[in-house]
Homo-oligomer: A and B are copies of this chain.
Amino acid sequence: MSFMQQLRDRWARADSLVCVGLDPEPAKFPGRFAGDPDAVFAFCRDIVDATAEYACCFKPQIAHFAALGAEGALERLVAHIHSAHAGIPVILDAKRGDIGSTAQRYAIEAFDRYGADAVTANPYLGRDSLQPFLDRADRGVVILCRTSNPGAGDLQDLVAAREGGEARPLYQHVAEKVAREWNGNGNCMLVVGATWPEQLRDVRAIVGDDLPFLVPGVGAQGGDAEAVVRNAKSADGTGLVVSSSRAILYASAGDDYAGAAAAAARELRDTLDRAR
């Protein structure tokens, strides 16, 4: 089953728009993991098992594994999600982007080595840098559009025109290109940050209902979950994958970390469900 079909099934079955971000930072792990050489995998697995009921996706962030030399833990974590929680797709948050022959290697890294169902990608290098991802029709390609960080506007808000085209911010050009040109296989999503509710609305107006959004920035980054749903849901009340990482992972530093993570994921699910 394709990533997009899996996602639609999961929205319906779990009645949840919540994506649990997996950003392991050993310094924040509960004390019981101190000295455990397998702490990165074990902590993430516990969070996955505790929150799966409330999740439409899991999103491991690869830098948090790579900085620790924990590629093996990431491989095992994706395999664990697929075997213990079949039907919940995994988005590998890697924001890759390079020329075509190298992008091909990144696609192998994400989809074949790690077995991710989707990967995040950066559009700055243009279409051919995304093509090896787009060509994998059964996998998802989650393209940066308007991000959630303070400096997002440095380039993304520059107002650009093209010959014969309307002047609009760069992020809207990206939205338009993805919707009209790059989504031929129907496997694209867009990253639009929760910290910018107006931009969510603008992008939804450009791309219509068929392109889901990955929305980071609720929780630790301060985005308003209800405003996200109000501004960006599709007509059927789905179309959103709302990601929270630190607020779920590190909800408690005590032995109740798994229960606290589950409660945080459930609360976000409920908040989002009330708003749609």
Q: Using A95-B98, A102-B61 as known contacts, say yes or no to A124 and B156 having CB atoms under 8 A apart.
A: yes
Q: Using A154-B177, A161-B159, A173-B158 as known contacts, say yes or no to A66 and B105 having CB atoms under 8 A apart.
A: yes
Q: Which of A24-50 contact B (CB under 8 A)?
A: none
| A105 lies within 8 A of B174 (CB) | no
| B149 lies within 8 A of A113 (CB) | no
Number of interface residues, chain A, beta carbon within 8 A: 54
Stoichiometry, copies per complex: 2
| A129 lies within 8 A of B149 (CB) | yes
Given A125-B156, A129-B151, output 13 extra A-B contacts at Cβ < 8 Å. Answer: A63-B103, A64-B102, A67-B106, A69-B71, A97-B97, A123-B124, A123-B155, A126-B154, A128-B149, A158-B161, A159-B160, A160-B160, A170-B170
Which A residues have a C-beta under 8 Å from some C-beta of B? 23, 61, 63-64, 66-67, 69, 71, 93, 95-100, 102-103, 105-106, 108-109, 112-113, 122-129, 144, 147-156, 158-162, 167, 170, 173-174, 177, 216, 221
